[in-house]
Amino acid sequence: MGTPDFSVPPLRALHDSGHMVVAVVTQPDRPKGRGRKLTPPPVKEAAVAFGYPVLQPETVHTDTFHAQMANAAPDLFVVVAFGQILPQSLLDIPTIGSINVHASLLPRHRGAAPIQWAIIEGDRETGVTTMMMDAGLDSGDILLTKKTAIEPGETAASLHDRLSRLGSGALIDTLERLRRGTLKRTPQDHDRATYAPMLKKKDGQIDWSQPAEKIERRIRGVTPWPGAYTFTDGMRLKIYSASVLEQDSGVEPGTIIACSAGELHIAAGRGTLAIHEIQGESGKRLPIDDFLCGCRLPDGTCLG
């Protein structure tokens, strides 16, 4: 059970390792892009290529879907970023249980957007956790964890790809330990749990009153979606990369304090942010020196 790009490498790992996949469950096709063309989820495309049967329930809370799962007679459910919470009645169907691959070091960052919030909140490391699912939100017993450092300058996009590959290995390792009878379950410390809620478009708007280092992490954490943005005279500017300058300007946060010779420096609540890649409202993503050749932002302009 999985839906987005993150779920594809684990499915491929299951396929390549010789496990019998009796069915793949994913979300329904959705309209996408400017033309709103009905588009299948990445997991469906992969499953079809592998020749697996695909189920796409609008909701898992129906008698029909329960019957389909029971008739498949699975030993295990493997769930990777599926997008729907499974009720206990479904989790009880597999004879062994239901294993989830989650992109954080549980119990930290339970929820829908663990990759993004790990960057936004300044974690130095993250990883993946396989767990035995229960009816709660990412609250089941931990089976295996694999850790990785969050690299300087890493975005949610690049960390996403690394964790997907790491999760694939963790899944196969978990199943192998299960087969050998050496898999151990460790209950989570629920008092240490934190949550990583799904991002909304408004989460990309830059709050210039925050310290520059927090703004820089926000930019990386919301790239590629929803993207970090700010406004000047009603025009939206999308910011893709930046770095922190330690000097304080003493001016109102959001004020442009240097805009010349390929440099765009903006005052933050503490420190200054140097912008490296930016996109205007109707343009394309550009290095800051190229952007400033066609769009001048005078010193003293206040963004917000």
Instruction: Read off the pLDDT of residues 150-162 as tens digits, 9 standing for 90 and up.
Output: 999 999 999 999 9
Q: Give yes or no for a contact between 127 and 148, defined as CB atoms under 8 angstroms apart.
A: yes
Model confidence, pTM: 0.95
DSSP 128: E
pLDDT at position 294 is 86
pLDDT at position 35 is 85
Average pLDDT over residues 85-102: 97
pLDDT class for 171, splitting at 50, 70, 90?
A: very high
Q: Which burial class, exposed, middle or buried, applies to 221 when counting CB atoms under 10 A from its CB (0-12, 13-18, 19+)? A: buried
Instruction: Read off the pLDDT of residues 183-233 as tens digits, 9 standing for 90 and up.
Output: 999 999 999 999 999 999 999 999 999 999 999 999 999 999 999 999 998
Q: What is the DSSP string of 203-251?
A: GGB--TTSBHHHHHHHHHHTTTTT-EEEEETTEEEEEEEEEEE-----S
Average pLDDT over residues 131-148: 97
pLDDT class for 282, splitting at 50, 70, 90?
A: confident
Residues in the chain, how many? 304
Count of other CB atoms within 10 angstroms of residue 196: 21
CATH architecture under which domain 201-294 falls: Roll (3.10)
CATH of domain 5-192: 3.40.50.170
pLDDT above 70 covers a percentage of the chain that reads 100
Q: Per the structure block, which two tokens stand in for 90? A: 């479904």
CA distance 111 to 34: 29
Q: Is the pLDDT of residue 283 over 90?
A: no
Burial 134-147 (b: 16+ CB within 10 A, else e): beeebbbebbbbee
Instruction: Read off the pLDDT of residues 7-66 as tens digits, 9 standing for 90 and up.
Output: 999 999 999 999 999 999 999 999 988 888 999 999 999 999 999 999 999 999 999 999
Instruction: Read off the pLDDT of residues 17-27 as tens digits, 9 standing for 90 and up.
Output: 999 999 999 99
Q: Is the pLDDT of residue 247 over 90?
A: no
- From residue 196, alpha-carbon distances to 213, 251, 299 in Å are 20, 33, 37
Q: Tokens 């469906």 — which residue? A: 44
Q: Give yes or no for a contact between 3 and 42, defined as CB atoms under 8 angstroms apart.
A: yes
Q: Is the pLDDT of residue 164 over 90?
A: yes
pLDDT at position 53 is 97
What residue spans define the domains of the chain?
5-192, 201-294
Residues sharing a CB contact under 8 Å with residue 75, sequence separation 6 or more, in sequence order? 94, 95, 96
CA distance 175 to 253: 52
Mean pLDDT of the chain: 96
CA distance 37 to 21: 29
Q: Which burial class, exposed, middle or buried, applies to 217 when counting CB atoms under 10 A from its CB (0-12, 13-18, 19+)? A: buried
Burial 225-263 (b: 16+ CB within 10 A, else e): ebbbbbebeeeebbbbbbebbeeebeeebbbbbebeeee
Average pLDDT over residues 115-132: 98
Count of other CB atoms within 10 angstroms of residue 161: 13
CA distance 232 to 230: 7
- From residue 226, alpha-carbon distances to 5, 103, 223 in Å are 17, 19, 7
Q: Which is nearest to 94 in space by CA: 69, 75, 70, 121?
A: 75
CA distance 65 to 74: 14
Which SS3 state, helix, strand or coil, does residue 274 take? strand
pLDDT at position 275 is 97
Q: Give yes or no for a contact between 134 and 142, defined as CB atoms under 8 angstroms apart.
A: no
Q: Give yes or no for a contact between 221 and 116, defined as CB atoms under 8 angstroms apart.
A: yes
